[in-house]
Amino acid sequence: MGDERWKTNHGVTHIVECDPGKALARMVKQIASEMECGALSDKAACDRALAER
């Protein structure tokens, strides 16, 4: 899990999991609580997220 700490030290502030589960987002939140984490569980959620950018 050292990768998550590396990411926070190099400016990564958001993690988005593109998967039906939310395991990665939960693990990252536990390791690097300052990161914004989210999960996109289906195509509609991905489409909405992309439309917001």
Tokens describing residue 28: 């990252």
Cα separation, 2 vs 20, in Å, equals: 24
Tokens describing residue 16: 């988005």
What is the overall mean pLDDT for the chain?
A: 77
Whether the full predicted model's pTM is greater than 0.85, yes or no, is no
Q: Of 9-13, 22-26, 40-44, give the range with the top mean pLDDT.
A: 40-44
- Predicted pLDDT of residue 39: 82
Angle between helices 23-31 and 2-9 (to 10 degrees): 70
